[in-house]
Amino acid sequence: MRITLALLCALVGVTFAAPVALIVDAPVPLPPAVASAFHEEVDLVFRDTGYHFSWINRAEMRPEDSFPDLVMVRLKSECRLDGRHPGGPSGKPMALAWAHRSGDEVLPFIEVDCARVRNMLRVLAHGEPAGVQQEMLGRALGRVVAHELYHVLTGNSSHSHAGIAQASLSAMHLAGPALEFTAREVNLLSRRSFAARQTQQPTAAFEADEFATDSGR
C-alpha cells in the first residue's frame, strides 16, 4: 500500500510550511559581509528544527506586500565592526537583544542593540582584518537573533543550561565555534506551530521585556 506524503509527514511529526519572513529594519543598511554571515548563521542554527526563513529589508517593502508569518527584527545603531566603529569601554553587562511581550505572550518583534554586540566582541576582534571583523559581527548577530527567535517561535520565555538558548551568551559564545540548540529546544521548536499561535502583527507600541541574550544579568 502506498503511503501518501502527507500521511507520512503526519506519522513522523514533520511539517512543511511556508518560510517565516524575517523583516529586518536597520537604520543603516548592513554591509554585505555582515548581512551574509548574519543570514547564514540563523539558517545554520535552525537547520534541524523544520523552520526556514525568508529575509526582507523593511526599506524595500511595498504597501501591497503581505506574509502569512513574519517576525520584525529591528537593529538599533549601526551594525558594523571595523576601525571606525570599535567596541566601547567595558561596563555593566546589558541585554544584547530582547523580544517584546504583551502580558505573558511573546510577540513577533525582536530588537537588537548592535552597539552592545560590538562592545562584546571588541577584544576578540582587535587586530583582525576588517573583513574578518564584519563576518564575526554577522555571526554574532545571527546567534543573538536565533536566541530571540526561539522565544518568539515557541512562545516560551524559559532558558536552557547550555547551547544557544541559555540565558547569558559570552563573547566566545557569539563568535566562537558553532552554537546550537539542545535536543530539548529542537523538539520544542519542531512541535510548536508558530502560525497557530500568532494572533497579531508587530507594531511599534510593544512592551519591551529584556529577558533574553542578556550577557550576564
The proportion of the chain whose per-residue pLDDT surpasses 70, expressed as a percent, equals: 75
pLDDT at site 196:
47
Least confident of 2-16, 94-108, 180-194: 2-16
pLDDT at site 103:
87
Q: What's the rounded mean pLDDT across residues 139-154?
A: 95
Question: Side by side, which strands form the sheet with 207-209?
Answer: 53-57, 20-25, 70-76, 105-113, 97-102, 207-209
Q: Which residues contact 175 (CB under 8 A, 6 or more apart)?
A: 121, 124, 125, 136, 139, 140
pTM of the model: 0.79
pLDDT at site 214:
43
Q: What's the rounded mean pLDDT across residues 103-124?
A: 91
The grid coordinates of residue 124 equal 576578540
Task: Produce one character per residue of 132-171: b if its CB has 16 or more CB atoms within 10 Å, e if not.
Answer: ebbbbbbbbbbbbbbbbbbbbbbeeeebeeebbbbbebeb
pLDDT at site 145:
97
pLDDT digits (tens, 9 = 90+) for 171-212: 989 988 889 999 989 988 887 656 545 544 443 333 333 333
pLDDT at site 74:
97
pLDDT at site 164:
92
pLDDT digits (tens, 9 = 90+) for 54-93: 999 998 988 888 888 899 999 998 887 765 555 554 444 5
pLDDT at site 177:
85
pLDDT at site 176:
87
Confidence bin at 104 (pLDDT 50/70/90) = confident
pLDDT at site 97:
94
pLDDT digits (tens, 9 = 90+) for 11-49: 344 444 578 999 999 988 999 999 999 999 999 999 988
Q: Which CATH class is domain 19-209?
A: alpha beta
- Looking at every residue in the chain, the average pLDDT score rounds to 79
Confidence bin at 158 (pLDDT 50/70/90) = confident
Q: How far apart are CA 103 and CA 200, in angstroms?
A: 14
Phi, psi of 113 (to 5 degrees): -95, 100
pLDDT at site 199:
44
Q: How far apart are CA 18 and CA 53, in angstroms?
A: 8
